Amino acid sequence: MNLSDLDYPLPRELIAQHPTPNREKSRLLVVDRDSGELQHQHFFDLPDLLPPGSCLFRNNASVFKARLKASRPTGGQLECLLLRQLDSTPEKGETWECLLKPGKKSPVGSTFALKPAFTAEVLAKTADGRVQVHFKELASYHSVVEMANAVGEVPLPPYIHRDETHPGPEDEGRYQTVYADPAKMVAAAAPTAGLHFTPDIIQRGLCRGFQYFDLTLHVGLGTFLPVQTEKLEDHPIHAELYELPVETRQALHDPHSNKVAIGTTTVRATQDYFNQPESQAAAKDRPFVREADLFIIPPFEFLQLDALVTNFHLPKSTLLSLVGAYLTPGSTDGIEWIKEIYAVAVEKKYRFFSYGDAMLIL
């Protein structure tokens, strides 16, 4: 598939710069795959749009302040985006996979720091821009994540612009789902489909017999790295760790429930899971942990997934490919259809991307 097949026109003013004042009052474009019908609703309608007793699967990863501003020994400024921890020892500190900006001015062996919070050294670099960084001298902080949450910034996507040096309390509270688990502080970007949920919506779902099942996908480079190859299949998709608790595994194998994925990270984790021989093991009394390396490109057959809640995604992105594949499982027709649906969303002035509106695909 050509990357140009995933392109679509989007007026810049439709890229949401701020969240809606109330999470649940974002708009919801409902797509019925059987009839082709589109409905224009609001997110607070979601509990009434799903069958009673539905099982909702959601990514409970918590976003930490993964963006660090630092200085090189020459005085030049540098930005470090923490992606995932590679290793840690009490004596030697922690090594992380990161993105550096500007990366070309930070060769292997160079250092950067934000005194007194940390000193870091570049250990290795890859052709696609990933950098291994060793953090040491963390002052009184017990971990890099603790340090980042104290001195770092919310890792807003580059299409969200802020005039302030630091994002304000709005972003610290709203670029996080209400069900994010503080013990799962592993995300360098928010699982944005979940940003629309409120405690009230969750409770209304419970009243309709919904069950909520958590999983954790460590959102990183595999989710948001831009495609830079002409052929989509040539894009090097990066692995992201995911964890499925016992209860979630058992619910995924229930053949009778209506299963709803909240977000593309949930889709990636569950479909990668079903593609593993271990997922069919009779004993499902243990959590399942693996690095998802699945790249969903049409045509793709989805397993145990009846509906999808998702945001509107960037042109030429792997996530747009995933949603197009989900619209018409086993066919490539969904790519043209998703562009037609997005054209309607543009006409109706839906808000796009992380802080934007949502879609429900039934």
Name which residue leads in pLDDT, 58 or 89: 58
For a pLDDT cut of 90, what percent of the chain falls above it? Answer: 85
For the chain, give every residue range classified as CATH 3.40.1780.10.
Answer: 3-63+173-361
Q: Which residue has the higher pLDDT, 50 or 236?
A: 50
Report the candidate in 284, 313, 241 with the shortest Cα–Cα distance to residue 85: 241
- For residue 168, pLDDT beyond 80: no
Where in the sequence of the chain do the CATH 2.40.10.240 domains occur? 67-153
pLDDT at 252: 95
> With a threshold of 0.85, does the pTM exceed it?
yes
CATH of 3-63+173-361, picked from 3.30.590.10, 3.40.1780.10, 2.40.40.20, 3.30.1330.10, is 3.40.1780.10
The per-residue pLDDT for range 87-138, each reduced to its tens digit, is 887 667 899 999 999 988 899 999 999 999 999 999 999 887 889 999 988 9
User: Taking all residues of the chain, what is their mean pLDDT, rounded to a whole number?
Assistant: 94
Cα 118 to the chain's mean position, in Å?
27
- Give 67-153's CATH code, choosing from 2.130.10.10, 3.90.480.20, 3.90.1150.10, 2.40.10.240: 2.40.10.240
What are 310's strand-pairing partners?
Answer: 359
- Given a cut of 70, whether residue 169 has pLDDT beyond it is no
pLDDT attached to residue 224: 73
Confidence of residue 170 (pLDDT cuts 50, 70, 90): confident
- Cβ atoms of residues 188 and 211 within 8 Å: no
Task: Give pLDDT, residue 332.
Answer: 97
Q: Are 172 and 149 in contact (CB under 8 A)?
A: no
Report the pLDDT averaged over residues 296-315. Answer: 97
pLDDT digits (tens, 9 = 90+) for 201-233: 999 999 999 999 999 999 987 777 789 899 999
Read off the pLDDT of each residue in 228-252 and give the average, rounded to a whole number.
93
Structural tokens at position 244: 């499925």
**Between these two residues, 166 and 339, which has the higher pLDDT value?**
339
The 10s digit of each residue's pLDDT in 143-164 is 999 999 999 999 999 999 987 5
Strands (E) across the chain are located at: 27-31, 38-42, 55-59, 67-71, 77-89, 93-101, 111-114, 118-125, 130-136, 211-217, 240-244, 259-262, 288-292, 307-311, 358-361
